[in-house]
Amino acid sequence: MAERIIGRIIEKALLSRLLESDEPELLALYGRRRVGKTFLIRNAYEKHIIFECTGIHQATMQKQLENFLASIREAGDVQTITGKINWIQAFQILIECIKPKIARKKQVLFFDEFPWFNTHRSGFLQAFDHFWNTWASRQNNLVVVICGSAASWMIRNVVNNRGGLHNRITSKIRLMPFSLSEVEGFLRMRNVRLDRYQVLQVYMVMGGVPQYLKEIRSGESSTQAIDRTCFTKDGFLRDEFRNLYYSLFEEGSKHIEIIQALARKSSGLTRNEIIITCGLSSGGRTTLLLDELAESGFIAGTIPFNKTSKDAVFRLTDEYSHFYLRFMEHSKVQGPGSWIRYSRETSWKSWSGYAFESICIKHILQLKRRLGIDGVYTEASTWRSSAKDKDGAQIDLLIDRQDRCINICEIKFSIGEFVISNSYATELEKKLEVFRSRTQTNKTLFLTMITTFGVKESENKTRVVQNEIRMDALFEQ
């Protein structure tokens, strides 16, 4: 029995609408590798795909063409092809093959790893432009899906194409990793029974990438899964890091430098700070690098409270990359028990705090629902006082609400109930005081604690906390 699609509610609805449309459709689907793009299309369009071909990484034009023609032969009867052909001719052969198949009902053509077809001076993209504009765009019974992991290439050459494909894309899907709710459902479907704390641990290491999560075995704990996949000689995630960036980006080393810089700075870096740290130029090339990483889901830019886009702070949001750089890149600890050993060190505490904080920020919609403000317009941001301010303070998440309130969020990861000490309660009160003084806001401030297992009842909790959210809220759909 085919594995069913977990989550992806919005994406599945869009794919269904394309099949029901009475017009030709061109869908661009992109996202980081191993996020489930191919699986989504094959399952959603299982009974409708009449042609599928996958580009070959770093293959020559001739190899790509041979692969393309082999896929056409699989799709239906074609005349014997003799001699060398170009991409224009290859698409003409495809047209002759599929014409009879789309005469009566909507059918799908699926071009997977689309960027890899476009080898140097091959003319592939121009031939595809020609194929769509002169023929496919007039076939009401046709859905063409072009899919690629190289998100930056897809956006530059397809979504924002200024040539023959300009404004031709009828729909696009940027496929992101699973949410915590989807991860929980995915693991249950695979008979992996972990409590939510252990699911959270897995997410902090692997994020919501389906192919990574498939490595978790039924009957093993999150610690065992992390040990095996990350710290054994043949572990699936052992060598994934560099393969990931070099397969997605033409200049992967530059992207890795930015990721490494952000991994060292949990509070994030501004664009100028990234330029200085990584020795980059201040021109458009840096902007392109940041856009490529952001569009692929590895980093996110947040505009601080009462600031503008030029003050955006970038943070590393890819869980696996952060875990790899913190624990795996130069690790001498290997084999079973490695993760248990790390979890006793101070580096584990700082990492887990950052990882949990990052996950909470990704699940802002779930936080709003638990606060009962999902129907209120809000803006999520960060804030930190000036470096010259003797009363320094930093807020990693605040929710600025249109109803004249602000939730000042304190995010704390712990293995049990979190205890607010006298000194910490005083620190929280001081933080709110500094924030109000420096921003001159007259909105009501609600100190909101977001923790794994809740805040222990005490006078200090009553004294400073107005809202409390536990990790269970993050698992809501």
Rounded to 10°, the helix 364-371/346-362 angle is 70
8 A C-beta contact, residue 38 and residue 46: no
If you count DSSP H runs as helices and E runs as strands, how many of each does the chain have, helices first? 21, 13
Give the separation between CA 165 and CA 127, rounded to whole angstroms.
Answer: 11
Per-residue pLDDT averaged across 392-404, rounded?
Answer: 93
What topology is assigned to 371-475 in CATH?
Trna Endonuclease; Chain: A, domain 1 (3.40.1350)
Please report, for residues 357, 361, 426, 456, the alpha-carbon distance to residue 471 in angstroms, rounded to integers and kept in the order given: 11, 12, 25, 15
Provide the token pair at 352.
């887990």
Taking 60 as the threshold, does the pLDDT of residue 113 lie above it?
Answer: yes
Q: Under CATH, which architecture does the 9-174 domain have? A: 3-Layer(aba) Sandwich (3.40)
What confidence score (pLDDT) does residue 262 get?
97
87-108: pLDDT as tens digits: 999 999 999 999 999 998 999 9
Average pLDDT, the chain: 92
415-444: pLDDT as tens digits: 999 999 999 999 999 999 999 999 999 999
Element (H, E) at 30: strand 25-30
Distance of CA 122 to the CA centre of its chain: 31
119-147: pLDDT as tens digits: 999 999 999 999 999 999 999 999 999 99
Provide the token pair at 331.
């690790």
Residues of the chain with CATH 3.40.1350.10: 371-475
What confidence score (pLDDT) does residue 345 get?
78
Query: CB-side exposure of 66: number of CA atoms within 13 Å?
Result: 7
Nearest alpha-carbon partner for 306 in 439, 443, 444, 397: 439
Percentage of the chain beyond pLDDT 90 is 76
Give the separation between CA 306 and CA 92, rounded to whole angstroms.
Answer: 56
8 A C-beta contact, residue 225 and residue 202: yes
8 A C-beta contact, residue 181 and residue 362: no
312-352: pLDDT as tens digits: 999 999 999 999 999 999 877 677 778 888 877 788 888 99
Rounded to 10°, the helix 284-295/271-278 angle is 110
Residues 6+ apart with CB under 8 A from 117: 55, 64, 68, 111, 124, 128
SS3 (DSSP) at 52: strand
What confidence score (pLDDT) does residue 89 get?
94
How many Å is the Cα radius of gyration of the chain?
25
Residues of the chain with CATH 3.40.50.300: 9-174
SS3 (DSSP) at 237: coil
239-296: pLDDT as tens digits: 999 989 988 887 789 999 999 999 999 889 999 999 999 999 887 889 889 988 998 8
Sign of the Cα pseudo-torsion (92, 97, 103, 107, in order): negative
Residues 6+ apart with CB under 8 A from 445: 405, 406, 408, 432, 435, 436
Taking 60 as the threshold, does the pLDDT of residue 23 lie above it?
Answer: yes
The conformational region for residue 109 under phi > 0 = left, psi -120 to 50 = alpha, else beta, is: beta
What confidence score (pLDDT) does residue 3 get?
66
Give the separation between CA 441 and CA 92, rounded to whole angstroms.
Answer: 64
Q: Under CATH, which architecture does the 251-330 domain have? A: Orthogonal Bundle (1.10)
Provide the token pair at 100.
């009879």
8 A C-beta contact, residue 107 and residue 84: no
Taking 60 as the threshold, does the pLDDT of residue 367 lie above it?
Answer: yes
Please report, for residues 8, 112, 188, 285, 418, the alpha-carbon distance to residue 180 in angstroms, rounded to integers and kept in the order given: 13, 27, 12, 34, 22
Residue with the bigger pLDDT between 33 and 411: it is: 411
Encoded amino acid at 215, one letter: E
Give the separation between CA 449 and CA 468, rounded to whole angstroms.
Answer: 5
- In sequence order, what DSSP letters do the residues of 155-182 get, joined into one string? IIIIIT-SSTTTTT--EEEEPPPPPHHH
183-221: pLDDT as tens digits: 999 999 999 999 999 999 999 999 999 999 999 999 999
The conformational region for residue 240 under phi > 0 = left, psi -120 to 50 = alpha, else beta, is: alpha
pTM greater than 0.75: yes
What confidence score (pLDDT) does residue 1 get?
39
Give the separation between CA 172 and CA 292, rounded to whole angstroms.
Answer: 17
What confidence score (pLDDT) does residue 2 get?
52
8 A C-beta contact, residue 337 and residue 369: no
